[in-house]
Chains A and B, each alone.
Chain A
Amino acid sequence: MTVLAVESLSVHYGVIQALKEVSFAVEEGEIFTLLGANGAGKTTTLRAISGLLPKTEGKVLFQGRDITTIPAHALPALGLVHVPEGRRIFSGLTVADNLLMGAYHRRDKQGIAEDLQNVYDLFPRLFERRKQDAGSLSGGEQQMLAMGRGLMSRPSLLLLDEPSMGLAPILVQEIFDFIKEINQRGTTILLVEQNAHLALQVSHKACVLETGRIALAGTARDVAADKRIQEVYLGVS
């Protein structure tokens, strides 16, 4: 089943066109990676999907439903959750309160408590630091918190924007392990990454954005085998 269908999505920032008729589809259960250089339009794509951009052209269907005009704050309740670039955790609130903000739209106390336990099981370090100010966490822990906060919404589709950005290499590997684990527990993931190497290893499908256009799309294996991708993104010569 198609969870997310993006159809001819175009975005302008003033006179600059950041996205040009981008189309792709994410199937249930998969990790779909959007690759591309800095400024290619990856973040713009995610922001357009989650309703953060005021004016877009084209259509976004989530579980078959047109969500193009649904306000951003209504999407988590439908099951679409966006973990933004730069983590954007609430520093000043405790780790636990950050996680509970992720469940803001939910009323089922028991389900929330269960999911909180699940997040703590997945990220024991967040449990240890649950009473601390989220701003005091390290970069890797903040990324775990941002992903955990997203999971508290019980999403069927999780959008992750550059989760490995700015992290030390060992932590990057750890974050990718978590992404795999979250996916194996049943969440479909649309991943945006610059680290093409690791992203292609964990994902099922991928597409490459170049200055706002889709340059290449296919299974992760096909994309990884493409000559040009190997040269430009994977450093193989």
Chain B
Amino acid sequence: MPWHIAALQQLINGLALGSVYALIALGYTMVYGIIKLINFAHGDIYMLGAYFGFYAITMLKLSLVPAMLVSMAAAALVGVLLERIAYRPLRSSSRIAVLITAIGASLLFQSTAQLVFGASFKPFPQALPFRRIQLGPVFITNRQLLIFGVAVLLMVLLHLIVNYTKVGKAMRAVAIDKEAALLMGVNIDRIISATFALGSALAAAAGILVGMYYNRIDPYMGMMPGLKAFVAAVLGGIGIVPGAVVGGLLMGVAENLVVTIGSSTLRDAVAFAVLIVVLLFRPNGLLGKKGIEKV
């Protein structure tokens, strides 16, 4: 295959994978935007979402869309409880205390998942028979189309919620100035809960999509995508919603292009290389404002 065709093929693969990173990155960035917390357990909520989807399909015998909705709702609840139990009591503590708690929560989710769901991977039930669709010299699979389609749909929904609903506007107001929002009568705790719920639901959807894409799920599946999505959020400018989308897509594409150029062992390293290069030139991320970080 000539290199430019191979690159085009990897671009398609990259966009599909990147849209998943974007979905996860949105949760990181929304939570950071509101309470300046890096929720390191976010990748594990993505993992839980995949398991919730798995059991909704295999035990509740639901089809894909209802299973996804059930999983998103359950993950939203887990996210809300995580914030309530682990993060809220620490709201006036040092950042390092909160960070350590987040890492602890992540480990707790992983070991609980291992205990409850088993350590070995499970094959994810396929909602679609595998098909390739030829597009000139390259092809796209129906699973990639599904991933990309669902991701875009969810991102459009999120955009509408954040920009046009009362709760969405309140989220933005709280992110801009918590105390001013409080003076408007906004119950900050509720808005923080809503933010965790939304971010966790998106991560759960991503977990199911990836479970279908790679055909398998396991209790540690959240670690690498979680880390990469976090990098994607920083890349786009942490706290900036469109930044997470741009960062996620870029990350997916960069990772796949490296596979065409060199060996696939470099795949996981590229994310961090891209991050370092971008932050050297734009310390606040691609869409971040230049200069000092906003308070």
Assembled-state Cα–Cα distance A153/B182 (Å) = 13
In the assembled complex, how far is the CB of residue B171 from the closest CB belonging to chain A, in whole angstroms? 11
Q: Is B231 an interface position by the 8 A CB rule?
A: no
Assembled-state Cα–Cα distance A97/B165 (Å) = 11
Assembled-state Cα–Cα distance A140/B177 (Å) = 20
Residues on A with C-beta less than 8 A from B274 are none
Q: Is B100 an interface position by the 8 A CB rule?
A: no
Assembled-state Cα–Cα distance A45/B167 (Å) = 31
Residues on A with C-beta less than 8 A from B173 are 90, 93, 101
- Contacting A at CB under 8 A, from B177-208, are 177, 179-188
Contact A90 B186 (CB under 8 A): no
Contact A84 B169 (CB under 8 A): no
Question: How many interface residues does chain A have, given as a range?
Answer: 20 to 34
Q: Is B4 an interface position by the 8 A CB rule?
A: no
In the assembled complex, how far is the CB of residue B247 from the closest CB belonging to chain A, in whole angstroms? 19
Residue of B nearest to A91 (CB): B176
Assembled-state Cα–Cα distance A52/B172 (Å) = 20
Q: Is B170 an interface position by the 8 A CB rule?
A: yes
Question: How many interface residues does chain B have, given as a range?
Answer: 10 to 19
In the assembled complex, how far is the CB of residue A14 from the closest CB belonging to chain B, in whole angstroms? 15
- Whether A76 touches B183, Cβ cut-off 8 Å, given contacts A88-B177, A90-B177, A104-B166, is yes
Q: Is A234 an interface position by the 8 A CB rule?
A: no
Residue of A nearest to B177 (CB): A88
Contact B169 A76 (CB under 8 A): no
In the assembled complex, how far is the CB of residue B96 from the closest CB belonging to chain A, in whole angstroms? 22
Contact B183 A72 (CB under 8 A): yes
Dominant secondary structure at the A interface: mixed
Assembled-state Cα–Cα distance A73/B173 (Å) = 14
Contact A97 B169 (CB under 8 A): yes
Assembled-state Cα–Cα distance A84/B172 (Å) = 19
In the assembled complex, how far is the CB of residue B240 from the closest CB belonging to chain A, in whole angstroms? 10
Residue of B nearest to A72 (CB): B182
Assembled-state Cα–Cα distance A100/B183 (Å) = 13
Assembled-state Cα–Cα distance A100/B166 (Å) = 9
Contact A90 B185 (CB under 8 A): no
Residues on B with C-beta less than 8 A from A36 are none
Residues on A with C-beta less than 8 A from B172 are 90, 92-93
Residues on A with C-beta less than 8 A from B179 are 52, 84, 88
Residues on A with C-beta less than 8 A from B183 are 50, 52, 72, 76, 81-84, 88
Contact A153 B180 (CB under 8 A): no
Residue of B nearest to A149 (CB): B184
Q: Is A75 an interface position by the 8 A CB rule?
A: yes
Dominant secondary structure at the B interface: helix
In the assembled complex, how far is the CB of residue A143 from the closest CB belonging to chain B, in whole angstroms? 14
Q: Is A105 an interface position by the 8 A CB rule?
A: yes
- Contacting B at CB under 8 A, from A57-82, are 72-77, 81-82
Contact A76 B185 (CB under 8 A): yes
Contact B180 A52 (CB under 8 A): no
Contact with B along A99-111 (1 / 0, CB 8 A): 0111011000000
Contact A52 B182 (CB under 8 A): yes
Residue of B nearest to A52 (CB): B179
Residue of A nearest to B174 (CB): A90
- Whether A93 touches B182, Cβ cut-off 8 Å, given contacts A73-B187, A73-B188, A88-B177, is no
Assembled-state Cα–Cα distance A232/B169 (Å) = 45
- Whether A77 touches B180, Cβ cut-off 8 Å, given contacts A101-B169, A101-B170, A101-B173, is no
Contact A88 B185 (CB under 8 A): no
Contact B176 A73 (CB under 8 A): no
Assembled-state Cα–Cα distance A210/B185 (Å) = 31
User: Which residue from B169, B177, B182 sits with its C-beta under 8 Å from A73?
Assistant: B182
In the assembled complex, how far is the CB of residue A167 from the closest CB belonging to chain B, in whole angstroms? 19
In the assembled complex, how far is the CB of residue A162 from the closest CB belonging to chain B, in whole angstroms? 15
Assembled-state Cα–Cα distance A92/B166 (Å) = 16
Assembled-state Cα–Cα distance A116/B23 (Å) = 37
Residues on B with C-beta less than 8 A from A105 are 184-185
Assembled-state Cα–Cα distance A72/B180 (Å) = 11
A77, A81, A101, A149: residue with the most chain B Cβ atoms closer than 10 Å: A101
Residues on A with C-beta less than 8 A from B182 are 52, 72-73
**CB-defined A-B contacts under 8 Å, sample of 8:** A50-B183, A52-B183, A76-B185, A88-B180, A88-B183, A92-B172, A93-B173, A93-B176
Instruction: Show the binding face of A for B, using Cβ within 8 Å.
Output: 50, 52, 72-77, 81-84, 88-93, 97, 100-102, 104-105, 149, 153
6 nearest CB pairs, A to B: A105-B185, A76-B185, A88-B180, A90-B176, A104-B184, A101-B184
Given contacts A76-B185, A84-B179, A104-B170, 12 further A-B contacts (CB under 8 A): A73-B182, A73-B185, A73-B188, A74-B185, A89-B180, A90-B173, A90-B180, A92-B176, A93-B172, A100-B169, A102-B184, A153-B185
